[in-house]
């Protein structure tokens, strides 16, 4: 038995986009199905580092600045060649609407890409639609969707899930121009009042004497 795009729609778990913010109780409005599950998807994430300029060094030390947002890219196919309905109104418009600001949130909805399980949570950053099949009257019947989602994680959740620093683990810190012991303490401990622990661990008697490029020991907090 040959498998056509339409018959394939009934095989296996179907991928979908699901609106999680704002809260929508009507499941038919909250869930946006994809006619066919994709063959693959791609997750990408990057970090930003700053180069610390120290005269005489061939390779400057790197200082972690921040993490970048993770992105998901997926290519999907939607098709109405069996019913001859307009694929734009049946599938594409609902996905395009995810790019529009919601009146309650004043921002586009937060969605999950679900394929048997929740794979990714984010906002739709980009959507390319390529119509590839038409009826005799010019009605589009099939479209290829190139969809990009950007990760959405509230700041409070990130602090709770993955704190960037821990007061119980000894680390090191490369001083940058404009740094003070107070600002460094706020960055590594989230407590600016712990600057004295940094001063003691590094033998600093004058808190104003911080040269860019100096490597400080960040001690554990007792």
Give 206-215 pLDDT, tens digit per residue.
888 888 888 8
Q: Which two tokens stand for residue 174?
A: 């490369």
Q: Do 127 and 45 share a structural domain? A: yes
Q: Do 84 and 12 share a structural domain? A: yes
pLDDT for position 168: 55
* 165 touches 174 (CB < 8 A): no
In degrees and rounded to multiples of 5, residue 193 shows phi and psi of -75, -5
CA torsion, points 166, 167, 173, 176, in degrees to nearest 10? Answer: 90
Cα separation, 37 vs 14, in Å, equals 5
Q: Do 125 and 36 share a structural domain? A: yes
Cα separation, 77 vs 205, in Å, equals 66
- Residue whose structure tokens are 């038995």: 1
Total number of domains in the chain: 2
Q: Which two tokens stand for residue 63?
A: 């200082």
CATH number for the domain harbouring residue 45: 2.40.30
CATH number for the domain harbouring residue 180: 3.10.350.10
- Name beta bridge partners: 74: 41, 147
- Report yes or no on whether pTM surpasses 0.75: no
Q: Which residues of the chain have pLDDT under 70?
A: 1-13, 156-170, 222
Cα separation, 145 vs 78, in Å, equals 8
Q: 123: domain range?
A: 5-155
Q: Do 170 and 151 share a structural domain? A: no
Q: Do 190 and 149 share a structural domain? A: no
pLDDT for position 8: 44
Q: Do 171 and 151 share a structural domain? A: no
Cβ neighbour number for residue 71 with a 10 Å cutoff? 18
100: left (phi over 0), alpha (psi -120 to 50) or beta: beta
pLDDT for position 167: 54
| C-alpha distances out from residue 27 to 114, 141, 211, Å | 14, 25, 59
Q: Do 181 and 114 share a structural domain? A: no
pLDDT for position 137: 95
Q: Which of 127, 155, 183 is the C-terminal boundary of a domain?
A: 155
Q: Do 168 and 148 share a structural domain? A: no
Indicate the SS3 state at residue 145. Answer: strand
Closest by CA to 43, choosing from 121, 158, 133, is 121
């Amino acid at each position: 038995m040959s498998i056509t795009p339409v018959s394939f729609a009934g095989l296996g778990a179907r991928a979908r986009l699901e609106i999680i913010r704002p809260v929508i109780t009507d499941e038919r409005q909250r869930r946006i199905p994809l006619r066919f599950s994709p063959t693959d998807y791609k997750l990408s994430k990057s970090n930003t580092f700053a180069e610390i300029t120290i005269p005489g060094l061939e390779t400057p030390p790197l200082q972690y600045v921040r993490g970048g947002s993770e992105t998901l890219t997926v290519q999907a196919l939607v098709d109405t060649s069996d019913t001859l309905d307009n694929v734009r109104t049946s599938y594409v418009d609902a996905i395009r609407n995810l790019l529009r600001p919601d009146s309650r949130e004043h921002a586009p909805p937060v969605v999950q890409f679900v394929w048997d399980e929740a794979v990714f949570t984010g906002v739709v950053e980009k959507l390319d639609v390529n119509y590839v099949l038409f009826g005799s009257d010019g009605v589009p019947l099939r479209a290829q969707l190139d969809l990009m989602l950007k990760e959405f994680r509230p700041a409070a959740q990130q602090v709770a899930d993955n704190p960037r620093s821990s007061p119980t683990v000894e680390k090191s810190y490369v001083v940058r121009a404009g740094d003070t012991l107070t600002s460094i303490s706020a960055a590594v401990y989230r407590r600016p009042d712990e600057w004295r622990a940094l001063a003691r661990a590094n033998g600093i008697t004058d808190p104003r004497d911080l040269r860019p490029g100096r490597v400080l020991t960040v001690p554990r907090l007792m």
